[in-house]
């Protein structure tokens, strides 16, 4: 699986858009980009995923660059409840082996300020 | 309700006393995995299973065992716990091993080994 790189922390004002970057320069053509978040010590929560195209759901938008080497998670109107650690990971489509070792890393701590 | 259930939520034990942390999912998911989370180290994968009777090591398997005799259950076994296994543990599952299949996490088990 490709490794990802994220900034350790970011701040965002309440009500503004939060843009969280992720680098995955070694991603292969059939690996998906996933975003999860973890609030305090709860279980990580799935947010969104994508392969090549930009994606949007009720929680967030995912923008993937054309070369797929980086992506940005966008929370359009951040609230205090969005304060959490955000993880960007990649997941392959092969059945088996090392591609199913999902590497989470340490993520980005997003602090939404009032 | 679709969920991943871990038990117990909190466990305090002594060195060398065998213990089992249970994980069960009610979504007929193929893929299941165990993670541990330690300050500054993020989520690290212990073991994963791609289906019944198919398990493999993650990044930190030493001192742990797993089994997958039924599709819904994936217990984590510590045969002889040591203080360095004090950690927050998460079980996760996904519908398939394919790349477009999000992980669903349990609420965690906080283990203390004295």
Summarize pLDDT for B80-106 with one digit per residue, the tens. 999 999 999 999 999 987 778 899 999
Angle value at C-alpha A82, between B101 and A19, nearest 5 degrees: 75
Q: Which of A8-22, A27-41, B21-35 has the lowest mean pLDDT?
A: A27-41
**Interatomic CA distance for residues B65 and A105, integer angstroms:** 23
Among B92, B99, B104, B106, pick the best mutation site for testing chain A contact (most A Cβ within 10 A). B99
Q: Hey, which residues 33-92 in chain A have their CB within 8 Å of chain B?
A: 34, 36, 41-46, 49, 51, 87, 91-92
Q: Which of B33, B21, B23, B18 is nearest to B87 (CA)?
A: B21
Q: Residue B88: closest CA among chain A residues belongs to which residue?
A: A41
Q: Kindly determine whether residue A95 and residue B90, on different chains, have CB atoms separated by under 8 Å.
A: no
Cβ of residue B90 closer than 8 Å to a chain A Cβ: yes
Spell out the residues 6+ positions from residue B19 whose beta carbon is closer than 8 angstroms to its own. Answer: B11, B13, B77, B78, B81, B111
Q: Which of A93, A100, A104 sits opposite B48 (nearest CB)?
A: A100
Strand A61-64 versus strand B65-66 pairing type: unpaired
Whether the per-residue pLDDT at B44 is higher than 70: the answer is yes
Whole-number mean pLDDT of chain B? 94
Q: Which of B45, B48, B105 sits opposite A44 (nearest CB)?
A: B105
CB A56 within 8 Å of CB A74: no
Q: Which of A43, A87, A93 sits opposite B107 (nearest CB)?
A: A43
Q: Region B29-43: what's the mean pLDDT?
A: 91
Q: Residue A43: closest CA among chain B residues belongs to which residue?
A: B107
DSSP state of A44: P
CA-derived radius of gyration, chain A? 14
Tokens of B94: 């996904």
For B52-70, write each residue's pLDDT tens digit: 999 999 889 999 999 999 9
């Amino acid at each position: 699986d490709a490794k990802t790189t994220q900034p350790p922390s970011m701040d965002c004002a309440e009500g503004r858009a939060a843009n969280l970057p992720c680098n995955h320069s070694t991603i292969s053509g059939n690996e998906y980009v996933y975003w999860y978040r973890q609030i305090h010590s709860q279980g990580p929560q799935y947010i969104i995923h994508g392969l090549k195209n930009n994606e949007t759901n009720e929680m967030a938008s995912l923008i993937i660059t054309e070369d797929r080497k980086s992506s940005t998670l966008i929370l359009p109107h951040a609230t205090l409840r969005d304060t959490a650690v955000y993880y960007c990971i990649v997941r392959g489509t092969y059945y088996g082996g090392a591609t199913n070792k999902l590497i989470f890393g340490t993520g980005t701590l997003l602090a939404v300020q009032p | 309700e679709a969920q991943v259930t871990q038990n117990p939520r909190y466990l305090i034990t002594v060195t060398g006393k065998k213990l089992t942390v249970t994980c069960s999912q009610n979504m007929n998911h193929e893929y299941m995995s165990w993670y541990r989370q330690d300050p500054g180290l993020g989520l690290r994968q212990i073991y994963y299973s791609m289906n019944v009777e198919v398990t493999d090591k993650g990044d930190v398997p030493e001192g742990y065992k797993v089994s997958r005799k039924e599709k819904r259950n994936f217990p984590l076994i510590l045969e002889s716990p040591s203080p360095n296994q004090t950690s927050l543990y998460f079980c996760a599952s996904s519908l398939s091993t394919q790349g477009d299949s999000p992980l669903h996490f349990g609420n965690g088990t906080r283990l203390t080994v004295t």
